Amino acid sequence: MLNPVTSSPRSQSASSLTKRADTGLRPPQPPQTRTTGELAVIDRIRAAAAAATPRSSSTLRLGIGDDCAILRPHPRHEIVVTTDFSLEGRHFRRDTHPPFAIGHRTLARGLSDLAAMGAAPLAAFLSLAIPRSLARNTKLLDGFLDGLLALAARHNVPLAGGDTSESPSDHLLADIVLLGTVPQGKALRRSGARPGDHLYVTGALGGAAAELADVLAHPRRFRNLTPLDATGPTHPHLFPEPRLAVGQALLRRGIATACIDVSDGLSTDLHHLCQASTVAAELDIALLPAHPLTATLDDANQMAAILHGGEDYELLFTARTRVPRSIAGVPITHIGRILAPPASAAAPRMSILAEGTRFTLEPQGWEHLR
Ligand SMILES: [Mg+2]
């Protein structure tokens, strides 16, 4: 682990390493910088994390370097926790995705879950299973860390610990744990929508699916992206921007009655919200904000990207008060309304209005193991 600085299967802490060097029968040796092996990887992560994110703050009392991190949330706050896998071959491909983007996306997924609850980030914990082939070829790992830590620095999220292990396959596997805080009893939840509420979404939809199609078809175009490309809405798949400021404003200003982030696709995430709130919902197709990149798709694929394309990481929320046109600089669009639940549990919960006709909307976004 990074914190503890131990790893499975063997366990070794930073302090025990120091003692071993200092108490041997031979005279102390000058410290040597290891360039390979798990401890070298841990050293790189530690150095990168220390350079990019604060080691301690009023809420993070102790970060990487001991057996546990120490956190002290503000009084009358609760802790929210989320964890997300980023698996090579499932969530990214080494031959198509720039390493910087893989790291950015790994953290962005967790931060987006915090945004959906209206939480402020407290700390991140990163566990990595690294293929032996990557322990020597540091380009992917260094790029991954740079991308993850650049986003962490922008949102002031310390990397406070984690774990490293040799991957049993030739796949890089990452798991990110994010902790955040919310004022007690105030977290935005999926379950608060009521009939008569209106539905809103931040930013634009379908851009991530459109860019993913482009990345898979033309990976060379994206190979030389730099950290400067990681800000702004230009790369919704490679560099999604978690809506933390919007989520916190929705909570603070008491605007949202329910909220979820659009990670699996609008149709699937709206279905989650409807189920949690025991309501139905109706979208108006003419109101849905299409990301400009969806213009590169034909009509059918454009609508599929907007309705079902995952990983936009926008916020989908309900409200029964007036909602501003933008929050924290992010456009907010009214896209439909919440209805009473269907009489039968088997009846569809979602419909969509298109040119005056109402169609049933099925959840067709991303679902693992389907
Ligand atoms: Mg989520």
Query: pLDDT for 7-17, tens place per residue?
Result: 343 333 333 32
Find tokens 């919007």 and name the residue. Answer: 246
Taking alpha carbons only, the member of 175, 293, 163 closest to residue 240 is 293
Residues with CB under 5 Å of ion ligand 1 are 113, 261, 263
Distance from Cα 260 to the centre of ligand 1, integer Å: 6
Assign 332 a pLDDT band (cuts: 50, 70, 90): very high
Q: What is the pLDDT of residues 282-309, one digit of tens each?
A: 999 999 999 999 999 999 999 999 999 9
Taking alpha carbons only, the member of 7, 296, 260, 274 closest to residue 115 is 260
User: How far apart (Å, rounded) are the C-alpha atoms in residues 369 and 367?
Assistant: 7
Instruction: Give the number of other CB atoms < 10 A from CB of residue 244.
Output: 24
Q: What is the pLDDT of residues 64-81, one digit of tens each?
A: 888 999 999 999 999 999
Q: What is the pLDDT of residues 79-115, one digit of tens each?
A: 999 999 999 988 899 889 999 999 999 999 999 999 9
Distance from Cα 263 to the centre of ligand 1, integer Å: 6
Distance from Cα 135 to the centre of ligand 1, integer Å: 32
For the stretch 178-210, what's the b/e string if a residue is b when 16 or more beta carbons lie within 10 angstroms of its beta carbon? bbbbbeeebbbbbebbeeebbbbbbbbbbbbbb
Distance from Cα 74 to the centre of ligand 1, integer Å: 24
Distance from Cα 136 to the centre of ligand 1, integer Å: 35
Give the CA distances from residue 1 to residues 9, 49, 137, in Å, rounded to whole numbers and listed in that order: 11, 14, 21
User: How far apart (Å, rounded) are the C-alpha atoms in residues 184 and 229?
Assistant: 37
- pTM score, whole prediction: 0.88
Helix (H, G, I), strand (E, B) or coil at 66: strand
Give the CA distances from residue 218 to residues 52, 65, 211, in Å, rounded to whole numbers and listed in that order: 32, 42, 10
Taking alpha carbons only, the member of 278, 291, 271, 281 closest to residue 333 is 291
Q: Residue 212 corresponds to which tokens in the numbers above? A: 């993913």
Distance from Cα 146 to the centre of ligand 1, integer Å: 24
Q: What is the mean pLDDT of the chain?
A: 87
Distance from Cα 40 to the centre of ligand 1, integer Å: 34
